[in-house]
Amino acid sequence: MADMTEGARPVPVTISEAAARRIRQIVAAEHRPGLRLRLGVDGGGCSGFQYRFALDDKLEPGDVEVEKDGARVVIDGMSLMFLLGAELDFVEDLTGAYFRVNNPNATASCGCGTSFAI
């Protein structure tokens, strides 16, 4: 596992203040030590790829962990190549509250923001 915390080395994916705050809230409510948000990319979705979010307390070989203010996000090595330079954000608006990935690698995305094309 590579530890890519902000300030130590260049961070492949950044976490916004809003996302960090929401991740901390979710993890605190679960009462499980070592829990973090896992961000991944799967094939599928209306634009070709879709983002996957899950809670995980395990690290797998090739995982990269990013931390901001105590909020930890882990990304598998295969997904990381689609996410380099992206920002994980948390949005609350009229349509609801959700994590959003601002991905500079995406050439198109669906209206709901959960799938993208490269």
Residue reference for tokens 């994916």: 13
| Residue 3 scores a pLDDT above 50 | no
Contacts of 17 (CB under 8 A, 6+ apart): 68, 69
Domains identified in the chain and CATH numbers: 2-117 (2.60.300.12)
Q: What is the pLDDT of residues 16-50, one digit of tens each?
A: 999 999 999 999 999 988 899 999 998 876 667 88
Q: What is the pLDDT of residues 65-78, one digit of tens each?
A: 999 999 999 999 99
> CA 105, 108, 113, 115: dihedral to nearest 10 degrees?
-80
Residues 53, 32: contact at Cβ < 8 Å? no
pTM to 2 decimals? Answer: 0.81
